[in-house]
Chains A and B, each alone.
Chain A
Amino acid sequence: AQSVTQPDIHITVSEGASLELRCNYSYGATPYLFWYVQSPGQGLQLLLKYFSGDTLVQGIKGFEAEFKRSQSSFNLRKPSVHWSDAAEYFCAVGDTGTASKLTFGTGTRLQVTL
């Protein structure tokens, strides 16, 4: 069964500092990987996704993620964090079968200090 681990429950960074959120997955085949962001009381917004090809994926809001098969990782990065980036971030792996179900990590809450 597929699984996703986000080792950091809570991260605090200063505005303008760089950010890296960790995500490790377990999946038998080539995974479909996603990062979503959730603001308090809101649904999830897709930041970026990886299906195949270039292992460095660019997303919205200046985020990027790198797929590293050897490390089973898909870490999310941003070179300079803005206060509006404070939110909950979820990494997910997609089932490549017909249902395409998503398995989510437990999330990382990002706090940005001014």
Chain B
Amino acid sequence: GAVVSQHPSRVICKSGTSVKIECRSLDFQATTMFWYRQFPKQSLMLMATSNEGSKATYEQGVEKDKFLINHASLTLSTLTVTSAHPEDSSFYICSARDRQGTRETQYFGPGTRLLVL
């Protein structure tokens, strides 16, 4: 149980284009999902908290207009990197909090590697 998927697993795009990353909780409902960014050989940095049916809460320094988050259902959150630039290249990981279980436990997706040329 508690499986989280991400799609795509890796994506290469041209500078200036937009990229959408999906995060799905496969076997549980998640009222809250989190989006992280991880640079090579570094820890995870929380970007935003995504709540089903409401606006996402962004961490300080994260541009909400650049990283659009939508959490339209209890099993799906999307992160759209708009007008991507090479500096947006990174490993993006989502996590989901189990609504039925202990709310403090987050289950992570496998990550999406984004390369912007």
A-to-B contact residues, CB < 8 Å: 32, 34, 36, 41-46, 49, 51, 90, 94, 96, 99-107
Residues of B within 8 A of A103 (CB): 46
Which of A46, A51, A102 interacts with B46 by CB under 8 Å?
A: A102
Of all chain A residues, the one with the shortest Cβ separation from B46 is A101
Which of A45, A51, A94, A104 interacts with B44 by CB under 8 Å?
A: A104
Minimum C-beta distance from A107 to chain B (A): 5
Contact A45 B108 (CB under 8 A): yes
Number of residues from B at the complex interface, CB < 8 A:
25
Contact A99 B32 (CB under 8 A): yes
Q: State the CA gap A58–B104 with chains docked (Å).
A: 18
Contact A43 B46 (CB under 8 A): no
Residues of B within 8 A of A46 (CB): 105-108
Which of B46, B49, B104 interacts with A32 by CB under 8 Å?
A: B104
Contact B42 A94 (CB under 8 A): no
Contact B111 A42 (CB under 8 A): yes
Contact A51 B104 (CB under 8 A): yes
Contact B93 A99 (CB under 8 A): no
Evaluate whether A43 and B93 lie within 8 angstroms (CB atoms) in the complex, with A102-B46, A105-B43 already known: yes
Contact A43 B103 (CB under 8 A): no
Q: State the CA gap A36–B107 with chains docked (Å).
A: 10
Q: State the CA gap A42–B113 with chains docked (Å).
A: 10
Q: What 15 new A-B contacts, CB under 8 Å, besides A90-B43, A100-B106?
A: A41-B91, A42-B111, A43-B109, A43-B110, A46-B105, A46-B107, A46-B108, A96-B104, A99-B49, A102-B34, A102-B46, A102-B95, A104-B43, A106-B42, A107-B42
